[in-house]
Structure 1
Amino acid sequence: MKEYKIGYVAGVFDLFHIGHLNLLKKAKEKCDYLIVGVLIDELVQYFKNNLPYIPFEERIEIVSAIKYVNQAVAVSADNIDKMKAWELYKFDCLFSGDDYVNNESWMMDKRLLNQVGSDICFFPYTKSTSSTQIKRAIENSNR
């Protein structure tokens, strides 16, 4: 029996790579049912000040096809807030990379999620490959 019944993780999942796969695999190892939120293009533009390389429709299709994912959902302004996501999906645990482990906002979210019986679990960030590294390599090859 796994530690959690329903798990949730959200991200951009642009230029899908081994770090993304590691996150989803580790999350699925801890829960029976994994819901993965994929940020819509407009939200990525808002937060990162640029559009993803891969359009939303393709990113969510890729994520949906991963064997560790039970359900892929769109993340918009309506459900980007972790408590709004919890209200929709009633997950037992929110999974994330440990690059957010000491983030004040995430610590507040952890306290709020704990109040409704949910938790946040952080996994080690995969340092060998990241979307930022891939984007830099693409940009450098175009020069």
Structure 2
Amino acid sequence: MIIGYTSGVYDLFHVGHVNLLRNAKAMCDKLVVGVTVDELVSYKGKQPVIPYHERIEVVRSCKYVDVAIPQNNMDKAASAQKNHASYLFVGDDWYETDKWKEHEADLAKVDCKVIYFPYTKGTSSSLINETLIKLRG
């Protein structure tokens, strides 16, 4: 059985999230999705619009997701290893960044390969949030 893993905040769930999850599920038998807990989002200097307990339910309801779990830290290799993942999926907006070069090296040590999918242009939770703020004045 091929297990894949991906993680994210999944705030203001949108078609870019669906595209990533659909593409990921097409490459594995079981897709495990880590949903970032509110405390970790805050640590990264952001504030989610939708609380964690609602975001994880939205992700769980997506037909491409087999298991949704809390993401409590940024250790991608530990998460991949814990979930026995052969692949870790991420958007290609991270491709060739210093941060993800490090993640790739760490993941290789636990026999997990990073797969980059095309980033969905024109949509993001940040963009949706900015648009809502402008619309509401």
Which amino acid in the other structure matches residue 71 of structure 1? V
The answer to whether the Cα contact below 8 Å between 1:95 and 1:122 also exists between their aligned partners in 2 is: yes
Q: Which stretches in structure 1 are left out of the alignment for 5+ residues?
A: none
Q: Give the CA deviation at 1:87.
A: 2.7
Runs of at least 4 residues off by over 2 Å: none
- 50 and 109 in structure 1: CA distance in 2 versus 1, 3 angstrom threshold: closer
Match of residue 114, structure 1, among 79, 102, 108: 108
% identical aligned pairs: 42
Separation in 2, partners of 1:106, 1:92: 17
User: 8 Å contact 1:37–1:73 — kept in the other structure?
Assistant: yes
Query: Can you list the C-alpha shifts for 1:51-77, whole angstroms capped at 9, x where unaligned?
Result: 100000000000001000000000113
Amino acid at match of 1:27: A
SS at match of 2:21: helix
Q: 1:14 aligns with which of 11, 14, 21?
A: 11
Partner of 2:63: 67
Q: Does 1:84 align with 2:78?
A: yes
Equivalent AA in structure 1 for residue 31 of structure 2: L
Q: Distance in 2 between matches of 1:67 and 1:53?
A: 23
Residues of 1 paired with 2:84 and 2:62: CA distance?
A: 22
1:40 and 2:37 aligned: yes
Contact 1:7 1:35 (8 Å CA) reproduced: yes
CA distance in 2, matches of 1:84, 1:6: 15
Equivalent residue pairs, number:
137
In structure 2, the partner of 1:141 is: 135
CA distance in 2, matches of 1:9, 1:87: 12
CA contact (8 A) 1:42 1:51 kept: no
RMSD over aligned Cα atoms? 1.2
SS of equivalent to 2:85? coil
Q: Which moved more, 1:109-118 or 1:83-92?
A: 109-118
**Given the alignment of the two structures, is residue 58 of structure 1 paired with residue 59 of structure 2, yes or no?**
no
